[in-house]
Structure 1
Amino acid sequence: MKQPKSELTYPETRTVDQTDEFFGVSVADPYRWLEADVREDKAVADWVAAENETTFAYLKTLPGRGAIKARLKTLWDYEKFLLPVKKGERIFYRRNDGLQNQYVLHVQDSDARPRILLDPNGWSEDGATALSTYHPSLDGSLVAYQVQEGGSDWMTIRIVDASSGNVLEDKIDWVKFSGVSWAKDGSGFYYSRYPEPEEGEAFQSLNLDQAVYFHKTGDAPEHDRLIYARPEHPEHGFSASVSSDGKTLVVTVWKGTDSRYEVVLIDLQHFAAEPLEIVSGFKHDYSYIATAAGRHFFFTDENAPKGKLVATRVTDPGAAWEEILPESAHVLSGVNVVGGRVFAHYMEDVKSAVRMFALDGSPLGAVTLPGVGSAGGFGGEPDDTETFFSFESFNQPPTTYRLDIATGEQSIFREAKAPFDPQDFDVRQVFYPSKDGTKIPMFIAHKKGLDLSQGAPTLLYAYGGFSVSVTPAFSVTRLQWMEMGGVFALANIRGGGEYGKEWHDAGRLLHKQNVFDDFIAAGEYLIAEGITTKDKLAIQGGSNGGLLVGAVINQRPDLFAAGLPAVGVMDMLRFNQFTAGRFWVDDYGDPAKEADFRNLYAYSPYHNVRDGEDYPAIMVTTADTDDRVVPGHSFKYAAALQSADIGDRPHLIRIETRAGHGAGKPTDKIIEEYADMWAFIAAHTGLEPPGK
């Protein structure tokens, strides 16, 4: 298939004489100036405006773009629900009536009719102010919730009265990477926050000196009591959870994204008591689950790379660990203790299985799931009588179920009914060999009866990092790609958590090349099997997956027709200089260490754009308020692409305003962005869009 040519004239991007020395290697960084905050630097803002003008002018020329947007809007317009939370006699859940920019929080008193508690759709004119998380008190009378502005990771905590709907005056700023855990008596809650950043540095500076505080309802935040901090270790972060019996504050201490923690217990009945450290050394995952029957339950991977459940006695914590659920052949991906039972969520070749156990580990049978896909939920307190869970798959939107724990009876609590027939689509799982022979699972989905005799336009997606497991999930956007005649493929490459700690370790640090090899092998498999061809294969990934797309395009530009790297980590020598980037050294390594530097420099997308190669069409996407992966990564990478001699196909960047890393993005912005992306890759894979 002949690829469409581009006659684009890219904006002029000035260069600077910036060179850094790393272990005897001189590394040029001519676009360093693009790292500046677009809100603070006029030159960067002007560059963003010029790039967007070029990109959107090109996108307007693509056939079918309007029809794609219209169909996306139709598909999106159905009632949706998120998992409920039950506290006391109240059930809280989020609902979207179809095209609302943000989900609305509802509350249901026992079996009464639901009512709206918080509607963030009126919080800003552009719909970009979001309700991030919410946390009801144990009796359900108050709800602490986090407000997210323009997609930023910074949160503001507010409190709403669940009976009256009145929002209290309490307002806590500079909260990031923190939950909320209410005191047993409901007088207030524990949370973590950072110091207020210097002026102009909120979206760029490193996140340091987090500490745990207690907020008493009605108090000003400056009166919040400092509970736990480590000023001698400004890089440490903290997650605080009140134990199920209300007597202990469990503080999980972390340094980065790798699940290796220290655990500190604080006696809430005797504040004079010294904090007790029961897990030390940042060697293993010890994640608090619940307190029941006189024991604290924890998930751990110590001597169990696929995970196990252990417990320690409340009266003698940390002295001895009792094994409740030993490691099994499948990954233990989640554990809940609810209604006197353990609900253990296993991944069996990336598909959900949920089993029940007594608190001593005795088996009590499996939870019946409605098919092959992904289950989630099973939250609640150890003395609850019911729990809720959801189930979804590629061709099945999420349905929420209510489970009576004593009888095992299930009933549908809320059901999404998307405007399509699940029976119209085929989904299968295959296993293909990577470069080193490792078998990698991949899901392949498309319309039934799709003609594959000449190969079909195919979108290949993966993530491959931070022990994140990418499981079968429903997506309106992927559904539309398949509806138009495309194939969707999801590769569960190494670096994720699909097969436990060993799978993750095989794709991080000095083993990161395995991730790229796995993804390249996925593309080669799809071509070898006749599912697609090189000129019909597009790839997509976001964040760490954006790095993946950028790296594999540099390594195998001949293999792909189009690439969509989103909010990617593109400069692997400076990622740890901004906001949360320092946490990622667990997965990527430290550029200040020679072995890590040489590994990072070898695959860094920004540094390895290869002149003289014919690159696929690329549209980079990012957002001006992304303070997780700062947009300078994508800015510099796009500038490098546009200045290189890499062929005639377009190499564009689409920069969203008032949006961040992805969370909280309003529906209308999501639809616009996906219409642009699908029109772009359709034009470069030969897919005939509707209404062309």
Structure 2
Amino acid sequence: MKIFFTSALMLAATRLAVAQQPGPPPTPERPVTDVYFGRSVVDKYRWLEDTKNPEVLAWFKAQGDYAAHTLDQLPGRDSLINTFMRYDRLKPERYSEIKKRGTRYFYRKTLPAETVGKIYMREGETGPEMLLFDPVAYDKTKTYSVTAFTPSNNGQRLVVGLQEGGAELSTLRILTVATKALLPESIVAVSGGGVDWLPTDTGFVYTPNNSTDPKDPRGNLNTKARLHQLNTAAAADAELFSRAKNPAFNIRPDEYPFVYFSDDHTQVYGGLGSVDNRQHVWVAAPADLSKPVIPWKRLVAPTDSVYSYLKLGTSLYLYSVKQAPKGRILVTSALNPQPATATVLLPEGQLNITSIASSKDYLFVTLNDGINDHIRQYDPRTKQWADVPLPFSGTAYVQPLDAPRSNACLVGLTTWKQPATLYNYNPDTKQLSASKFEVKAAYPGLDDLVVEEVEVPSHDGALVPLSLIYRKGLKKDGQAVCFMDGYGAYGISAVPYFSPRYLAMLNQGVIVAETHPRGGSEKGQKWYRAGYQTTKPNTWKDFIACGDYLVKNGYTSPSHLIGMGTSAGGILIGRAITERPDLFAAAISNVSCSNALRMENSPNGPVNVPEFGSVKDPVQCQALYEMDAFQHVKPGTKYPAVLCVGGMNDPRVIVWQPGKLAAALQAASTSGKPVLMQVNYDNGHFTEDKKVTFRNFANMYAFALWQAGHPNFQPSAVAAK
């Protein structure tokens, strides 16, 4: 007769087995002291920032190998990968990024057996399908995926952005649809692959980086918006908008100049991209692009607090948060825009405005009640508002397919337990119908899921929304494993969405908790600004409050609670475990901002100063110190098990950010729990490649579930007879 240990004993035995293995590679301490406005700060691992140094590369390789060896032993890891693959196969095909030009539909389609999508075209919604571009066949010696594709206005050509290894810097190629032949020119180092075609379709505007190396700190500083004419060398592309060409505009080196056209091609906009959501834009006539000096005129300034804008007919519609934290819609003349005196078309209300869009004749406004979206449409001809009928509540979007030539739209909907569903929408009749691009899938376990929305009092009494998803029949005895995620930055809200990866955990009895901390926009711009720069501590304190709530109310316990933060969410998870190490069994610090004081010294650091602050400012520098998880690691502390993840090709959060945190925790923790540094060499900040993505998330989830005591992730060797 077999007798199995309890999960607590299994976990103890597993940790003992790991402890008996050689520990992670040692990290020499080479202290460097910086003085920030009178405060001395010691950095023991500054040397890890030199990612061109062979010693540093060897350290990351050794750490990655050690992490892989440990993760490969977890029995539930491969089962998770298989589950991800099985759920992926439930949809026979996936369509995304559907774009219409005249009668032609262009889209990305991915089959279950494919790791990345291919680009296709149909004549009409139900016409025969034509394969236009296969990134795998493009160069079989390399691993490419399509970052973006943009059809010309007449649908005769296609600009395709290609990336390798998740580096996010694209190479642009131009394809002729009729022949599928590529034009000879190739344009490198375009971030995201974004372009906009000229009205004549004889070329396009784009903004390249200054370097093909995603880790080059000069790559995205002083960039220049350019014009490419077809069948010409990229080296000859004219400079349209930049700090050098427009000195009177006081463009900062970190601001990203872009140029694009209004939907009707009667105006061209020159703007400055930034993590600051407030638009900074000038306007000119398309014909002016051929002039040596383009006569740009101011459209909106940051002081106008305009988050987005669009031209519809002769009017310019503005989504503004000025004196309206939840947003309002303004309208002014497109020929002579005056944001300061614009007419209020839709005043601020109880719902947060989140986006605007337009088709040939209609303006669409998406609003959110904190959880669910609502879409309204406005007809400038009748000056009437109407609701877009949504079949169920959740996260929704409206996508005009071919503005301004058509009113054809797609509407998408999803929730925590409802897979994304796609509809055709006719704003003239206000009717939804099944889209030919909608592919249904029956996922197991959905009918057994419960969604609970609560609000949790934080440290200062603010009520923090918390979304809980779990299986029916949950016993609130503190024994359930809970996976709690959080972000809270840039005003990005954690909206409901269906995740097959989450479902893989939910169907094993795990509670999924999605937090909505300050720094997002769930409660409008005040909520965002309450987790920003000097108020950033609210972000991780809100996350901690959610964890305390889950423990107090019996959903889980500290020995079963997992915390995760990704990218800017690395601030949240890093400071949560350094402030409350006792609250968590395990933490995942994924491609994480972990060393805030040194972010400006990373390739993507300067462009993020408007969001987090600068060490050159005494007040902001103190705020950055508070955000810095690496600097708050204290020797002799019992930290939870931690998996840090970094991508060697990551252009957004350089790999040494999570690397330094891993080194500090390995040296400081006295809990005996593992601290691993997973290094991805085939991934950047993320990747489309399903094979890589499935492995990456299975590693993260398996590690955390192992350390949180889930029985399916404990080595079978602890079973006894």
Residue among 130, 134, 146 paired with 1:115: 130
Post-superposition Cα deviations, 1:251-275, rounded to whole Å, max 9, x if no partner, equal: 2223x31112321012223454753
Q: State the SS of the aligned residue for 1:27.
A: strand
Task: Tell me, in whole angstroms, the C-alpha distance in 2 between the residues paired with 1:98 and 1:126.
Answer: 22
Q: Which amino acid aligns with 2:522?
A: E
Residue among 646, 654, 663 paired with 2:678: 654
State the match for 1:238 in structure 2. Answer: 257
State the match for 1:365 in structure 2. Answer: 386
Q: Which amino acid aligns with 2:70?
A: Y
State the match for 1:208 in structure 2. Answer: 221
Over 3 Å counting, the alpha-carbon distance change for 1:370 and 1:170 in structure 2 is farther
State the match for 1:399 in structure 2. Answer: 421
State the match for 1:345 in structure 2. Answer: 366
Q: How far apart are 1:418 and its partner, in Å?
A: 4.8
Q: Which amino acid aligns with 1:333?
A: T
Q: Which amino acid aligns with 1:48?
A: F
State the match for 1:490 in structure 2. Answer: 514
The answer to which of 268-277 and 91-100 deviates more is: 268-277
Q: Which amino acid aligns with 2:204?
A: F
Q: Which amino acid aligns with 1:236?
A: E
Q: Retained in 2: the 8 A contact 1:179–1:240?
A: no
State the match for 2:150 in structure 1. Answer: 135
Q: How far apart are 1:468 and its partner, in Å?
A: 0.8
Task: Tell me, in whole angstroms, the C-alpha distance in 2 between the residues paired with 1:192 and 1:600.
Answer: 30
Post-superposition Cα deviations, 1:216-256, rounded to whole Å, max 9, x if no partner, equal: 122211121211112243333223220122122112223x3
Residue among 233, 242, 251 paired with 1:229: 242
Residue among 338, 349, 366 paired with 1:328: 349
Residue among 44, 47, 68 paired with 2:80: 68
Q: Retained in 2: the 8 A contact 1:567–1:622?
A: yes
TM-score by length of 1: 0.94
Task: Tell me, in whole angstroms, the C-alpha distance in 2 between the residues paired with 1:203 and 1:689.
Answer: 43
Over 3 Å counting, the alpha-carbon distance change for 1:99 and 1:575 in structure 2 is farther
Post-superposition Cα deviations, 1:498-553, rounded to whole Å, max 9, x if no partner, equal: 22221110000100011011000010111111111111100111001122111110
Q: How far apart are 1:422 and its partner, in Å?
A: 2.5
Task: Tell me, in whole angstroms, the C-alpha distance in 2 between the residues paired with 1:405 and 1:628.
Answer: 39
Answering whether residue 332 of structure 2 is matched by residue 312 of structure 1, we say: yes
Task: Tell me, in whole angstroms, the C-alpha distance in 2 between the residues paired with 1:527 and 1:590.
Answer: 37
State how 1:674-689 maps to structure 2 within 5 Å. Answer: 674-689=697-712
Structure 1 alignment gaps of length 5 or more = none
State the match for 2:40 in structure 1. Answer: 26
Measured on the aligned residues, the alpha-carbon RMSD in Å equals 2.2
Q: State the SS of the aligned residue for 1:638.
A: helix
State the match for 2:3 in structure 1. Answer: none
Residue among 20, 24, 37 paired with 1:10: 24
State the match for 1:36 in structure 2. Answer: 50
Q: Retained in 1: the 8 A contact 2:639–2:669?
A: no
Over 3 Å counting, the alpha-carbon distance change for 1:236 and 1:177 in structure 2 is farther
State how 1:120-519 maps to structure 2 within 5 Å. Answer: 120-123=135-138, 128-176=143-191, 179-196=194-211, 202-205=215-218, 207-231=220-244, 232=247, 233=251, 234-254=253-273, 256-271=274-289, 272=291, 274-279=294-299, 281-318=301-338, 320-359=341-380, 362-380=383-401, 381-413=403-435, 414-519=438-543
Task: Tell me, in whole angstroms, the C-alpha distance in 2 between the residues paired with 1:136 and 1:309.
Answer: 30
Residue among 647, 664, 670 paired with 2:693: 670
Q: Which amino acid aligns with 1:162?
A: V
Q: State the SS of the aligned residue for 1:534.
A: coil
Q: State the SS of the aligned residue for 1:84.
A: strand
Post-superposition Cα deviations, 1:580-601, rounded to whole Å, max 9, x if no partner, equal: 2112222211112222222222
Q: Retained in 2: the 8 A contact 1:247–1:269?
A: no
Q: How far apart are 1:67 and its partner, in Å?
A: 2.1
Residue among 603, 623, 641 paired with 2:665: 641
Q: How far apart are 1:60 and its partner, in Å?
A: 2.5
Q: Retained in 2: the 8 A contact 1:205–1:578?
A: no
Task: Tell me, in whole angstroms, the C-alpha distance in 1 between the residues paired with 2:137 and 2:575.
Answer: 41
State the match for 2:5 in structure 1. Answer: none
Q: How far apart are 1:59 and its partner, in Å?
A: 1.5
Q: How far apart are 1:99 and its partner, in Å?
A: 4.1
Residue among 50, 64, 73 paired with 1:52: 64
Task: Tell me, in whole angstroms, the C-alpha distance in 2 between the residues paired with 1:177 and 1:498.
Answer: 27
Task: Tell me, in whole angstroms, the C-alpha distance in 2 between the residues paired with 1:324 and 1:333.
Answer: 16
Identity of aligned residues (%): 26
Q: Which amino acid aligns with 1:576?
A: E
Post-superposition Cα deviations, 1:15-68, rounded to whole Å, max 9, x if no partner, equal: 22422121222222221121122xx33212211221122112212332322322
Q: How far apart are 1:493 and its partner, in Å?
A: 0.9
Aligned residues: 686
Post-superposition Cα deviations, 1:614-669, rounded to whole Å, max 9, x if no partner, equal: 1111111111111111001011111111111432000111111121001x341111
Q: How far apart are 1:179 and its partner, in Å?
A: 2.8
Over 3 Å counting, the alpha-carbon distance change for 1:610 and 1:123 in structure 2 is farther
Q: Retained in 2: the 8 A contact 1:425–1:448?
A: yes
Q: Retained in 2: the 8 A contact 1:469–1:497?
A: yes
Task: Tell me, in whole angstroms, the C-alpha distance in 2 between the residues paired with 1:670 and 1:301.
Answer: 37
Q: Which amino acid aligns with 1:394?
A: W
Task: Tell me, in whole angstroms, the C-alpha distance in 2 between the residues paired with 1:103 and 1:501.
Answer: 36
Task: Tell me, in whole angstroms, the C-alpha distance in 2 between the residues paired with 1:451 and 1:80.
Answer: 37
Task: Tell me, in whole angstroms, the C-alpha distance in 2 between the residues paired with 1:589 and 1:312.
Answer: 34
Q: Retained in 2: the 8 A contact 1:428–1:443?
A: yes
Q: Retained in 2: the 8 A contact 1:289–1:337?
A: no
Structure 2 alignment gaps of length 5 or more = 1-7, 717-721
Q: How far apart are 1:133 and its partner, in Å?
A: 1.3
State how 1:603-642 maps to structure 2 within 5 Å. Answer: 603-642=627-666
State the match for 1:103 in structure 2. Answer: 117
Over 3 Å counting, the alpha-carbon distance change for 1:16 and 1:665 in structure 2 is farther
Task: Tell me, in whole angstroms, the C-alpha distance in 2 between the residues paired with 1:99 and 1:126.
Answer: 20
Q: Which amino acid aligns with 1:299?
A: Y
Task: Tell me, in whole angstroms, the C-alpha distance in 1 between the residues paired with 2:214 and 2:83.
Answer: 41
Q: Which amino acid aligns with 2:499?
A: S
Task: Tell me, in whole angstroms, the C-alpha distance in 1 between the residues paired with 2:398 and 2:582.
Answer: 43
Q: Retained in 1: the 8 A contact 2:209–2:219?
A: no
State the match for 2:719 in structure 1. Answer: none
Over 3 Å counting, the alpha-carbon distance change for 1:127 and 1:223 in structure 2 is closer
TM-score by length of 2: 0.91
Q: State the SS of the aligned residue for 2:653.
A: coil
